[in-house]
Structure 1
């Protein structure tokens, strides 16, 4: 029996080495989702039964760190079921193979070329950061922030009168969910009961911002603190300044132009405006006000923030600030008639520009296609469907309230969108359409095209 299992494991390892890095990520996350679904379907992890599709939906939402739910997490799953969901969130948040590779580094201190290829595909790093330094930063910073978050949450919940054991579990669960920007909550109305609680709003914002800014920024700043001679990368500067600008933009718009925040939450108007902007930008998915009450203009602002997201190699979704920056640089250079693409006086490599424009176009196409498919099979307002699609693909998790009412086809589309969002649109495309014959190995005729 043991020999047969070892032989099967050996064959599986050889099979994985024959896949492209993108296919390894595709099947790796798919395996997490499949195992999560099987476990959540077991009655011993449930308080009450639910359809298999809903368990599949929850497992996908957890691994993709989205937070959209079709059933109540607290009412459907017992402690052990909730614990499984938290583990899925953690695995999805830190990335496929990240923890395993960290353990390898801790023992052998050497990575195989196979590990490096997959990690380099999942985490796009600038040349100034080594993959080994990056991995250590990912694990240690994640554990540190989640521990701090759990302690602060426990203090906040105890202050609100929550029982000790319930407070401990809620603190750990929400700390992991916040840092991984998953948006899963043990409260059925998210954090709407804490709209005026400055301390809880601060804890969530701190964890979500630290997670979504990305491990590139954290690693870069860590190296700078250890050695002041280390220069912050251009990527870090773009992410940091871009994040501040977009977060400010969203907060100002929500503060002045959203009536539901101005009227219903007058005493905490700025806090509510900041938090909703932050939750869309970091894709954390928690909300303290009802997004279903937003006017169409503010829904569009929220969709834009979800569309952009935050940082590459972080826990947030979206096209990423760096992609938006690259597209902006292309437009600016073209309008100026320049053949060199620059931003802030720095020339951006053409390889990065190809990746950015491809991601931008593919991401937009998927949003349009997803909206079309749900509109075709479900009868909801168009803006609500577009909002749901942007939230699913951006792995945000906020909703206007239609998630649980989607039919089977609508839920399947959202499941696919969440999976693509976690994997990354380009990684998903390369995993599906990967070819054995490289483009440069094939003889191709050249032709001109008018644009």
Structure 2
């Protein structure tokens, strides 16, 4: 009987325990002497931080990945990235199956007729669909990158293929780990490296439900689900606004875009706008960015990408729902409508709950790091949001943060990766019909 009480029953518990187990296994593997260059082995905190960053597909590092870890260590990191990215997409998609099965018959029929996309009862089909999309995107990206490393930079066949595979998996899973000490700064002006990585990042960040629906109904946008329309619209808007803002502010900064040719500045601006969607690669030195650029990136990272994908953050859909709630209140409407569909009030509450908890987590972690370090608010806030949104971008302060601060970042990465998914599921599964209501009374607002 006591064993039954210890076994997890809620889907959120299964996800948390599964990812925690992956982190612990990864930590143990990275602590092996064969994983580290030179004598001895990595410390527990170094291994734990790296494993958490890899499983949570973040990309923050406390040691130089290409220099500190051996080839075996790189393989372990890559495996953790793949497990983390595939696991998130699979778990988030399968939670949709669970939620659909918890609906009443009429709601399930309405949902099936409305989405015309994922067969919510087909668990095997969901998993195979995620696997198929993952393999296609990663293989195509790896081929292009390997060819460029081979033909454009003189790497040997084996090394070029390995570089292509590593950065392809890292980019599609929005991880941001690179096998170069300066990340991708050396390729800032190379479209054959930057654009394939951007494409993989964007595709991975859209989310499996969007990709599945686009594959089946690409020619019929009127039939797309509200989720797909929100993600695609928000992705385009944020990419364009981010590119314009970053490029304009950093255009004359000699330490970032100013040292590049005009066409390379545009490429680098687009690249960094894409990476704020939770990927973590950088083609410029973030320590030299204008503070206002860092603040703009804070906003982009906090919003994140699409749900049920490899991107982190609040998710575009959550942010979109909040915007439409705000618009409805300002315009005096009675119901929140998006693309001709009315949102249930439970969705309003879920979005507000996720945002408030996320803000509380970011503020708490930021205040703690400010108490134990001498770094400025802009750099600490950037680091914390990057960890929460599982982005992996950094101004270079990660390794200089005391051990207690690094432990906090580990917790923030873990909560940021699994928090929005598990919290949204928990809230949705806990919703129960009420057969009574209390009398209404309005407090003063504002």
Paired residue secondary structure (1:330): helix
| 1: CA distance, partners of 2:437 / 2:31 | 51
| 1: CA distance, partners of 2:202 / 2:188 | 18
Q: 1:236 aligns with which of 217, 220, 228?
A: 228
Relative to structure 1, the CA distance from residue 241 to residue 443 in structure 2 (aligned partners, 3 Å threshold; closer, same or farther) is closer
| 2: CA distance, partners of 1:429 / 1:375 | 30
Q: Aligned-pair distance for 1:15?
A: 6.1
**TM, length-normalised to structure 2:** 0.87
The equivalences for 1:357-436 within 5 A come to: 357-425=352-420, 427=422
Report the counterpart of residue 352 of structure 1 in structure 2.
Answer: 347
Q: Aligned-pair distance for 1:438?
A: 8.8
Report the counterpart of residue 267 of structure 2 in structure 1.
Answer: 271
Report the counterpart of residue 45 of structure 1 in structure 2.
Answer: 35
| 2: CA distance, partners of 1:70 / 1:346 | 46
Q: 1:152 aligns with which of 144, 157, 169?
A: 144
Q: Aligned-pair distance for 1:446?
A: 6.8
Contact residue 175 and residue 392 of structure 2 kept, 8 A: yes
Relative to structure 1, the CA distance from residue 346 to residue 155 in structure 2 (aligned partners, 3 Å threshold; closer, same or farther) is same
Report the counterpart of residue 107 of structure 1 in structure 2.
Answer: none
Q: Aligned-pair distance for 1:377?
A: 1.4
Contact residue 21 and residue 118 of structure 1 kept, 8 A: no
Q: Aligned-pair distance for 1:449?
A: 5.4
Paired residue secondary structure (1:318): coil
2:130 is the counterpart of 1:130: no
| 1: CA distance, partners of 2:2 / 2:222 | 44
Q: Aligned-pair distance for 1:206?
A: 1.0
| 1: CA distance, partners of 2:358 / 2:379 | 19
Q: Aligned-pair distance for 1:119?
A: 11
Contact residue 257 and residue 268 of structure 2 kept, 8 A: no
Q: Unaligned stretches of 5+ in structure 2?
A: 103-107
2:291 is the counterpart of 1:296: yes
C-alpha RMSD of the superposition = 3.1
Report the counterpart of residue 23 of structure 1 in structure 2.
Answer: 13
2:194 is the counterpart of 1:198: no
| 2: CA distance, partners of 1:11 / 1:137 | 38
Q: Aligned-pair distance for 1:45?
A: 2.2
Paired residue secondary structure (2:375): coil
| 1: CA distance, partners of 2:8 / 2:406 | 33
Q: Deviations over 1:238-297 (max 9, x none)?
A: 11111101100011111211232442223311101111111002x110010011111111
Contact residue 354 and residue 423 of structure 2 kept, 8 A: no
Q: Deviations over 1:30-60 (max 9, x none)?
A: 0000111011111122223332101000000
Contact residue 371 and residue 389 of structure 1 kept, 8 A: yes
The equivalences for 1:104-115 within 5 A come to: none
Q: Aligned-pair distance for 1:85?
A: 0.8
Q: 1:254 aligns with which of 232, 246, 252?
A: 246
Paired residue secondary structure (1:95): helix
Report the counterpart of residue 105 of structure 2 in structure 1.
Answer: none
**TM, length-normalised to structure 1:** 0.86
Q: Aligned-pair distance for 1:81?
A: 1.5
Q: Aligned-pair distance for 1:366?
A: 1.1
- How many residues matched? 422
Relative to structure 1, the CA distance from residue 213 to residue 96 in structure 2 (aligned partners, 3 Å threshold; closer, same or farther) is closer
Q: Unaligned stretches of 5+ in structure 1?
A: 1-9, 103-110
Q: Aligned-pair distance for 1:312?
A: 0.5
Relative to structure 1, the CA distance from residue 389 to residue 68 in structure 2 (aligned partners, 3 Å threshold; closer, same or farther) is same
Q: 1:117 aligns with which of 76, 79, 98?
A: 98
State which drifts further: 353-362 or 191-200. Answer: 353-362
Contact residue 354 and residue 424 of structure 2 kept, 8 A: no
Relative to structure 1, the CA distance from residue 338 to residue 292 in structure 2 (aligned partners, 3 Å threshold; closer, same or farther) is same
| 1: CA distance, partners of 2:163 / 2:431 | 50
